[in-house]
Amino acid sequence: MNPNKALWEKGDFTRIAASMRESGEAVVAGLSITLGLKVLDLGCGDGTTALPAAKQGADVLGVDIASNLVEAGNRRAQAEGLTNCRFQEGDATNLSELADRSFDLVVSIFGAMFAPTPFDVAKEMVRVTRPGGRIVMGNWIPGDPTLVAQILKISSSYSPPPPEGFVSPMTWGIEANVSERFAAAGIPAERIAFARDTFTFRSAGTPAAFVADFRDYYGPTMNAFAAAEQNGKSAELQQELEALFERQNQSKAAGATSIPATFLRVTVTR
Ligand SMILES: C[S@@+](CC[C@H](N)C(=O)[O-])C[C@H]1O[C@@H](n2cnc3c(N)ncnc32)[C@H](O)[C@@H]1O
């Protein structure tokens, strides 16, 4: 089994995505979606950005490597009566089922960054975008002090070293790496814009309950707990994550969680 696919089919990312809806909608609100715009949401999960784009009138295809998330996305679109939004399985490193130049906008919010072989990902995103179209990525930033970069950093410190040749997904948060990958796909630097933005995770439960969601449902954290368990360190990992979530919680409502996280927004004009 493809380990990238196995990682994301593990657990149930919909439980984390439930905390991402508000910011997902805000990201889409900034994309100038027009009626009938052809949008590909790559690494779409269960549709945090695909559904809002469809509600604004775009014709949306969500592609994700995880079959359980594709099913969840199709269920959500159906429940909302969105006939202009469908989901199918696919791998961002090889989108051979999609025609060249077939989308006006390719969006990937914390999605394609998790695929291996980033040069292939850039090439595929560029290939399926029409000339004059846009690619918009949201990428977590390595070394950033906010939530997700820290979860991934803490998780990796409890995990075995990655296999040789592994390229960290976090390198998509480094401007020079992003430019290099798109340059190799034929996009000059002046067609790439970078901006820092904020994505807020909101959960009705406490920060500790939110950590439990990551431990029980988020593949990368599940793997870190499994590795920590083997070394008798799972309580330590739990404590470290709870301290992080408590520290970063900005919710004014008692017992609730609201944590902002900084990301790199990349906008490419094809
Ligand atoms: C952190 S989740 C984000 C999901 C969604 N974009 C959102 O904002 O809720 C990362 C997503 O990328 C998907 N993914 C990881 N590797 C992929 C690949 N090679 N091709 C397509 N999707 C991939 C995962 O299955 C998962 O749904």
Tens-digit pLDDT profile for residues 21-77: 999 999 999 999 999 999 999 999 999 999 999 999 999 999 999 999 999 999 999
CB 244 within 8 A of CB 151: yes
Tens-digit pLDDT profile for residues 213-259: 999 999 999 999 999 999 999 999 999 999 999 999 999 998 999 99
Burial class (CB in 10 A: 0-12, 13-18, 19+), 239: exposed
215-231 burial, b at 16+ Cβ within 10 Å, e below that, comes to: bebbbbbbbbbebbeee
pLDDT classification of 121: cutoffs 50, 70, 90: very high
Ligand 1 atom closest to 121 (CA): 19
Testing ligand 1's pocket by substitution, the residue of 110, 137, 167, 168 carrying the most ligand atoms inside 8 A of its CB is 110
CA distance 207 to 259: 9
Testing ligand 1's pocket by substitution, the residue of 5, 7, 13 carrying the most ligand atoms inside 8 A of its CB is 13
> Is the pLDDT assigned to residue 83 strictly greater than 90?
yes
CA distance 176 to 167: 15
- Does pTM surpass 0.85? yes
Q: Which two tokens stand for residue 249?
A: 């919680």
Distance from the alpha carbon of residue 91 to the mean position of ligand 1, in angstroms: 10
Nearest CA to ligand 1 atom 19: 115
